[in-house]
Structure 1
Amino acid sequence: MGVTPRGRGVDVRPFPSNRRLVTAAVRAGRRIMPMHGLVDVDVTEARRLLAGHEPPLSMTAFVVASVARAAAAHPEVHAYRDWRGRLVRHRHVDVQTLVEVETRQGPFGLVQVVRDADIRSARSISAELRAVKDSPERATTGASLRRLVPLAGHVPGLFRAMYAVMRRSVRVHRATGTVQVTAVGMFGGGGGFALSPPTLASLTVVVGGLSRRPRVVGEDVGIRDVLDLTVTIDHDVVDGAPAARFVADLRRRMEDPAAVAGAIRG
């Protein structure tokens, strides 16, 4: 059979200004010496409880609530250094997460900062993320980004300079949060881990794939829902042992039925 003729060539378009914002954030994250941990978590009980609500609650919201509670118990994992080299620890946990919205330049991950996530429930967080999805202007950065990105994207180096100023500012971290949860794998089926480049957040948790796998439960083996997480911590401010304790606590909070119910219902 012959090959159907088709046109060949390339399309050259301006690089989207919203992508310039992302690349500048990634460059700012180069100050971090990342330490990665790959963690698989049994979320069978969590999925059952999340699905029991109407409408069903977001798995991302549950991860945000669980990560924030664990970070509050281990504040060293989301600490950072200020302009004078001092170590800064927050007594609260604000979590950045991304909500995909449509823009004139295509889909864009809008940053929503979930305030006081360590004392909020997955139900409350899920409602907040759903509201941002429905009305992007409600996002922490929604209205400002819609005004800033199209204009600032035309000024060479502006985003890079902006993040260079922001990266060690206590005021900026209080505004933008110190923890980031990114749900990369929730858009596809099957298990799998993902590595995200560090940005301004001191602690990053990337939600990878979710799949059903055999797991040991007590003395038996059963088929369970397992979620893959990648935890990235700044090794400049945290050693391996405290990081491992944080990860162990995070797993317990996401797997223990009592802790799961507490994170979901508040």
Structure 2
Amino acid sequence: MTALLELDVTEALRLLRAPDKKPLSMTAYLVACLGRAVAHNPEVHGYRNWRGRIVVHSFVDTTVLVEVPTVDRPIAFPRVLRDTQSRSVADLTAEIEAAKREPFAGAPGQLLHRWGRLVAAIPGASRLMYATMSRSVRIRQRIGTVGVTNVGMFGGGGGFGMSPPTVMSLEMVVGGISRRPRVVDDRIEAREIIDVTLAIDHVVVDGAPAARFIADLRDLVESAAVLTSDAPRLQQGESSF
């Protein structure tokens, strides 16, 4: 399933850019909202193991792509942000900034650095690698089950990005922010709107849980609640059924 969302981030931007505080990352903010929405609707990041059983983790580990400079050209390296269902935006912002300085510190970055060129050079190896990673509980515990890619920082303005099939059960592609008219309290106002694309594995997730998850995500993003209140911490673990 693919969902194209236009989310009002006017209040969030006001808090993220507060002049009396250190600026916070919009990507980190969306990761925090996504983690909490997934924790409320854990089916959306479930996946099938080698026995065909659906595995659902109670924690939410989110992989983000962080662009880092190299000798040849900038490269996007994956970084796993652990327990995003309960961490603050400031904490996630700090880790994303640290990932730009230490791209190989996380498990996905180490795997990519060690095997990336070899896999890319062998025909069909990428497809086999994705198939193996998508079914392995141990690998999922290392690389996460939710992915976030930010393309808005490069394109500027609004726009959606379609995510190709990957290892992750749930993918969020973050587009740009633009000012658009919206109805607020029966008045038309110019608001800051961000475009977000969600790709959910319909083989595992039914439409109703996906719809509830999207509604929760919209409420979290547009209310900016994660910037003004703390979410309860969840116990780590995993279950299958």
TM-score range, shorter chain: 0.7 to 0.9
1:206 aligned counterpart, secondary structure? strand
Q: How many correspondences in the alignment?
A: 231
Native 8 Å contact 2:157 2:178 kept in 1 = yes
C-alpha distance in structure 2 between counterparts of 1:131 and 1:119, whole Å: 19
TM-score w.r.t. structure 2 length?
0.88
Name which of 71, 75, 79 aligns with 2:46: 79
Q: Counterpart in 2 of 1:212?
A: 179
Name which of 88, 103, 109 aligns with 1:121: 88
1:199 is matched by which residue type in structure 2?
A: T
Name which of 218, 226, 229 aligns with 1:251: 218
C-alpha distance in structure 1 between counterparts of 2:24 and 2:57, whole Å: 28
**After superposition, where does 1:107-118 map in structure 2 within 5 Å?**
107-118=74-85
Q: Structure 1 152/198 Cα, relative in aligned 2: closer, same or farther at 3 Å?
A: closer
1:258 is matched by which residue type in structure 2?
A: A
How far off is 1:105 after superposition? 4.3
The answer to whether 1:43 aligns with 2:9 is yes
Q: Percent identity?
A: 52
Native 8 Å contact 2:161 2:175 kept in 1 = yes
Q: Counterpart in 2 of 1:238?
A: 205
Q: Which runs of 5+ in 1 are unaligned?
A: 1-34
TM-score w.r.t. structure 1 length?
0.80
Name which of 178, 187, 192 aligns with 2:154: 187
How far off is 1:194 after superposition? 1.1
2:147 aligned counterpart, secondary structure? strand
Q: Which runs of 5+ in 2 are unaligned?
A: 234-241
C-alpha distance in structure 1 between counterparts of 2:120 and 2:104, whole Å: 20
More moved, 209-218 vs 129-138: 129-138
Native 8 Å contact 1:192 1:209 kept in 2 = yes
2:5 aligned counterpart, secondary structure? strand
The answer to whether 1:64 aligns with 2:36 is no
1:106 aligned counterpart, secondary structure? coil
More moved, 134-143 vs 105-114: 134-143
Name which of 171, 174, 184 aligns with 2:141: 174
Deviations 1:24-81 (A, max 9, x none): xxxxxxxxxxx10111111011111111265411100001010010000000111111
C-alpha distance in structure 2 between counterparts of 1:137 and 1:189, whole Å: 28
How far off is 1:204 after superposition? 0.6
2:166 is matched by which residue type in structure 1?
A: T
Q: Structure 1 124/41 Cα, relative in aligned 2: closer, same or farther at 3 Å?
A: same
